[in-house]
Amino acid sequence: MKLLIELLTGDLQPEYKTTESEIYAGEANLFRSGISIGGKLFLTSERLIFLPHKFNFNKKIEYIELSEVNVFQSITSLNILNNTLAFTLENGTELIFIVNNIEIWMEEIERAKKVVDLI
């Protein structure tokens, strides 16, 4: 299974701004309009970037400026799994991602957001 995930997401690389650097990345699913979209989530010093893998019908890339994130939290899915990141943006948009290593994601996002909020 891990090999299949690597085949689907291993070649996904975002285009970074010259002012940003990658902090953390991993496989993720984004829930959009009730549909789970597989791909890879990248945390940079300025943004979250979600790249859907090539086998999805919906291939829209999501760029989320950390400065636009009002609330982010870890929530439990199916009342047993702590693997869900929920974001609420300034414009009211809500985004839900399923990720591995939720504790690392939460720590790194919190750290990066503090830096962005100071600027």
CATH of residue 59's domain is 2.30.29.30
Is 56 domain-assigned? yes
For residue 91, the model assigns a pLDDT of 95
Instruction: Give residue 92's domain range.
Output: 2-8+20-118
C-alpha angle 32/34/39, rounded to 5°? 45
Is 109 domain-assigned? yes
Is 41 domain-assigned? yes
Is 14 domain-assigned? no
Is 13 domain-assigned? no
Number of folded domains in the chain? 1
What stretches in the chain show pLDDT beneath 50?
Answer: none
Is 39 domain-assigned? yes
Is 33 domain-assigned? yes
Q: Is 4 exposed, middle or buried (0-12, 13-18, 19+ CB in 10 A)?
A: exposed
Q: Residue 107, CB half-sphere, CA atoms under 13 Å: how many?
A: 5
What does 43-66 look like in DSSP terms, one character per residue? EESSEEEEEE-TT-S----EEEEG
Residue 37, phi then psi, degrees to nearest 5 = -115, 120
Is 58 domain-assigned? yes
Q: Is the dihedral of CA 44, 60, 104, 25 positive or negative?
A: negative
Quote the CA–CA distance of 100 and 116 in Å, as a whole number.
Answer: 24
